[in-house]
Amino acid sequence: MATRLSRELDKPGLRRKWFEPLRASRQTEVMIEARTLDTPLPDVTMAGQRWYGDPNHAVVLLHAGVCDSRSWERVAPELTDLATVWAYDRPGFGATPPSEGTRDHVADAEAFLDANVTGPAWLVGSSLGGAVALDLAVARPERVAGLVLLAPGITGGPEPTLSAQGKRLSELIDAATSAGDLDEANRYEVWFWLDGPDQPEGRVGGAARALALEMNRTILGYGREGEFDESIDAWRRLGELKLPVTVAVGEYDATFIADHARQLAASVPGATYLDLAGSPTSLTWTYPSR
């Protein structure tokens, strides 16, 4: 059964806009099969998965800051007719514990590519993963074939402007975190990012919500994740990008995210901006089977 994302991709022209450079040169029959893989770094081993597909092309999926690579498990098989697909847990997320030292998100992404991918890869990044993808494309453009950015964060971007309800949720998250109540912080973070800050709590339920709470609770329990190299400042360097870029935002993502994403797309030569109308948010595991 197709996921909501696959149906979005299959709308006339939409999959073509995202991945036409891959489809144009596809020559090999593919097989959908997920395999686990470990990527050793000097002081931590990053857990991940690989879905075998067209060996001539690579897609690497970069998860958001409130989830882990499991968020891609219903999306990755939809892409194997185009490429072999990888996803991994950054240190401090999912099955990859935090390391003792300070981690650099972009350096870790580059290390993952060096260990697993030959040649440039398409990077598909959601939220914080979008910021990782953007920074890597700016810093190491030879490693990146194209970008698909779902409600991306942007290093060096404008400060977010929250709605009244968004501010309230942000304050509740800060208060719960300061009090050491990680379960309550988890509740409010999932409300903000999964339901949408201006939507009622519980708008998304069932297995999707249970997975969101589980993934984010693990992150909060670790309590330590990586950082960004502030010298990259992707917002200031968007005009340098000379590769295919698609930026998409879900219907219920925070308004400031859509505003920043539109500015991003307008600043990158030839970039495409998409409103995913009817899609809950850009968080990829929320697209249910139909």
Q: Which tens digit of pLDDT belongs to each residue from 112-138? A: 999 999 999 999 999 999 999 999 999
Q: What pLDDT score was predicted for residue 280?
A: 59
Placement of tokens 């501010």 in the chain: 167
pTM of the model: 0.88
Length of the chain: 290
d(C-alpha 9, C-alpha 189), whole Å? 28
Residues in contact with 66: Cβ distance below 8 Å, sequence separation at least 6, in sequence order: 127, 189, 190, 193, 194, 212, 215, 216, 219, 283
Residues in contact with 90: Cβ distance below 8 Å, sequence separation at least 6, in sequence order: 46, 63, 96, 103, 105, 108, 132, 225, 226
**Domain 4-159+225-286 CATH class label:** alpha beta
Tell me the domain boundaries of the chain.
Answer: 4-159+225-286, 164-222
Q: What pLDDT score was predicted for residue 237?
A: 96
* Nearest in space to 32 (alpha carbons), one of 88, 86, 84: 84
d(C-alpha 122, C-alpha 124), whole Å? 7
Other Cβ atoms within 10 Å of 240 Cβ, number: 12
Q: What pLDDT score was predicted for residue 286?
A: 58
Residues in contact with 160: Cβ distance below 8 Å, sequence separation at least 6, in sequence order: 254, 256, 257, 260
**116's tokens:** 């697993």
Q: Spell out, as residue ranges, where the chain has pLDDT lower than 70.
A: 1-33, 278-290
Q: What pLDDT score was predicted for residue 101?
A: 82
